[in-house]
Structure 1
Amino acid sequence: MAEIIYSPTAAEQLRDKVVVITGGAQGIGAATVTLLHALGAHVFFGDWDAQHGTQLEADLHSEKGKGIDSHGAGTAHFTQVDVREYQSQLALFDAAHQKHGRVDVAISCAAVKEPSGWFEPESLDLATIRTEPVPITSALDINLTSVVHFARLALAYMKSDNTTPAPGSAFTKSIVLVSSIAGITPAPGLFAYAAAKHGVVGLMRALAPWTPHQFAGLRVNAICPWATATQLLPGALRDRWTAEKMPLNSPADVARFMVQCAADGEINGNAVFVSGGKGFDTEAGVERTQPLWMGEENSEQFQKGQRILGLGGDW
């Protein structure tokens, strides 16, 4: 795996950039909002959690939000958003576009745990399956369907930007989709969650080769954090994890790699595994070893087939 190093110099390119982010009220999302604000970006963040969202906005507008490795804080604007609703996400993008006339970076970070009762062995017999457990569609909508909606909206708003880049600027617009280690590895116990997060990586893989050709160099990457100290990691598991001296990310650790993907014009099509505050691209290894796990002949035929299929515009 190729290690990705956070570069404060690259991150400075986000100064005065307009960023839209969902899931920004707590955890990794809030840490990313805070870092972007400190770098001087104009951050429009949404979340269903209005209490934490409005508090974060107020904190960033006060002295609490200043001086985090920055030369001057940016601006932050919170909107209550239900990512399951297309129009709700649309309103968040509208807020950014109406104020600044453009969107430069879009980060989809909203996520929830799946409800219990679906795959526990005691719930899987011919009597219990006659009653549907707590519906799972909401978790799937938040963890996957909303990300597809988000990507579509981001592409449209980025395409509409008619502003002229600053002379000498190497910045290119980007979309960052938050997946999980459960999106690239087996994840027993996280059945629907893993299915959704694999879908997020699949969406990135489909978009990343296509967007630079269709949208003037626009890049798409995925972030795949391992264990991170957020509200999604149960306290008992966190205690056991740390007792075993396992690597544990802070939300700020993951935020730095979100920012790196947003700022570094050389990063496209990466699935960045974040562990213990370090980031590694897993996609290069998957591609490099394809003849091993697919077979050399199959790999050669697959590459030929991909050239025939192209970018999907002719079929």
Structure 2
Amino acid sequence: MGLAVATSLSARPDWSIHILDLNATSGKPIAASLHATFHQSDVTNYAQLSAIFKSVFQTHRRLDFVFANAGIAEHANFFNPVTNGKSKTNGNGISAGKDGKEAKNEEVSLEPPPEPKGLHPLIDINLKAVITTTTLAHFYMRLSPPSTTTSSPIDKSIIMTASCGGLYPAYASPIYTATKHAVVGFMRSIAPSYYAHDGIRVNAICPGTVKTNLLSNEEWRVFPEEYFTPVEKIARVVVMLVDGVDGGEGRGVVGGGSGREIGKGQRGDAEGRVGTLSGKAVEVSGERHYYREAVEFCDEPMRAVMGATNIESWGLESAK
């Protein structure tokens, strides 16, 4: 997905593209083909990541757009029973013998199981790296002057890659699901302040099944092939969010209902240039995309309670 977005943006003459990836073998030639700059980077290494951001800003004296797209899938079986000695724990947390009956006390090991496999990489890459990337993007975007490009004006924009698993439970991948729900929550928590105080629009995309290298061919075969989302559609949605205007393809979803056309107020300003697409969780399914609203408040007291968490009430405004 990152390559498709970089390819789309590289066609714009006023843009300088920087690509960050751990794999330099494939990353360098790809960047060269797009006339982009490649940086080998481990997104979980904050010192390394921050040095790259600083270098990019020193080169151009501005930063306009960041796509926080790094992510990995969950391959381990979270539900696999852990065997300890002669017995293992069944789904009810009761130690069971080979015949399924409760094991004798002398057969039971009370040694705790190991941590779930993949726990730390999933959290470090899918969530922590999104947070640190956003932190660095925010810092350098606030130091950037307004756009002076001769083509369409550019405002500041951060886009995070969540997932349809950030809106629904992905039953076989509970840790992955937790990280992607967290990305959506993080985006919704910071977007109002970033836009109101610094003019930075923050959005998240929630793609359906996009056939990338995150899963093996065998794993991909689990999903209905006719419902895959083209990577080209993901790129179009990201570019749309960068430009801040929906050309009319987007749909809104109310509650559990089906999609409906969104209002003009969400399609950008009257000139159709830099608009107000900010704080959106954009679900992408097939050739369609949908604007998913946050959960409704259960009652007015809860609305008031959560409203009291605004950063002004807590004195957390960004220092100018």
How far the C-alpha of 1:168 sits from its partner, in A, is 10
Q: How does 1:40-119 map to 2 (within 5 A)?
A: 40=13, 41-61=15-35, 76-119=36-79
Structure 1 gaps, min length 5: 1-27, 62-75
Distance 1:307 1:110 in 2: 32
Name which one, 1 or 2, has greater alpha-carbon Rg.
2
**TM-score for the superposition, normalised by structure 1:** 0.75
**Cα 1:117/1:102, change in 2 over 3 Å:** same
Mapped pair 1:251 → 2:225: no
Amino acid in the other structure paired with 2:155:
T
**Cα 1:170/1:306, change in 2 over 3 Å:** farther
Tell me, yes or no, if the aligned pair for 2:69 and 2:161 is still in contact at 8 Å.
yes
**Cα 1:301/1:232, change in 2 over 3 Å:** same
Q: Which residue of 1 aligns with 2:155?
A: 172
Aligned pair partner of 2:3 in 4, 24, 30: 30
Amino acid in the other structure paired with 1:57:
A
CA deviation string 1:125-165 (max 9, x = no partner): 36585344545212210000111111110110001113565
Q: Which residue of 2 aligns with 1:222?
A: 204
Q: How does 1:1-315 map to 2 (within 5 A)?
A: 28-40=1-13, 41-61=15-35, 76-121=36-81, 125=89, 129-132=112-115, 134-163=117-146, 165=148, 171-215=154-198, 217-242=199-224, 245=226, 247-264=227-244, 265-283=275-293, 286=294, 290=296, 294=298, 298=299, 300-315=300-315
Amino acid in the other structure paired with 1:311:
I
Distance 2:76 2:304 in 1: 44
**Cα 1:53/1:308, change in 2 over 3 Å:** same
Distance 2:182 2:62 in 1: 28
Distance 1:314 1:43 in 2: 37
How far the C-alpha of 1:303 sits from its partner, in A, is 2.8
**Cα 1:226/1:58, change in 2 over 3 Å:** same
Distance 1:309 1:107 in 2: 27
**Cα 1:46/1:303, change in 2 over 3 Å:** same
**Cα 1:139/1:306, change in 2 over 3 Å:** closer
Alignment: residue pair count: 261
Amino acid in the other structure paired with 2:121:
S
Tell me, yes or no, if the aligned pair for 1:44 and 1:92 is still in contact at 8 Å.
no
Amino acid in the other structure paired with 2:127:
L
Tell me, yes or no, if the aligned pair for 2:147 and 2:155 is still in contact at 8 Å.
no
Give the match's secondary structure for 1:116: coil
Distance 1:169 1:131 in 2: 54
**Cα 1:270/1:131, change in 2 over 3 Å:** closer
Give the match's secondary structure for 1:231: coil
Give the match's secondary structure for 2:76: coil
CA deviation string 1:40-63 (max 9, x = no partner): 3211110111112112112223xx
The Cα RMSD (Å) is 2.4
Tell me, yes or no, if the aligned pair for 2:76 and 2:117 is still in contact at 8 Å.
yes
Distance 2:115 2:305 in 1: 42
Percent of counterpart pairs with the same letter? 31
Q: Which residue of 1 aligns with 2:264?
A: none
**TM-score for the superposition, normalised by structure 2:** 0.74
**Cα 1:171/1:301, change in 2 over 3 Å:** farther
Distance 2:288 2:151 in 1: 30
Q: Which residue of 2 aligns with 1:20?
A: none
Tell me, yes or no, if the aligned pair for 1:227 and 1:248 is still in contact at 8 Å.
yes
Structure 2 gaps, min length 5: 90-94, 96-108, 245-274, 316-320
CA deviation string 1:252-282 (max 9, x = no partner): 2211111111111320011010111321111
Amino acid in the other structure paired with 1:303:
R
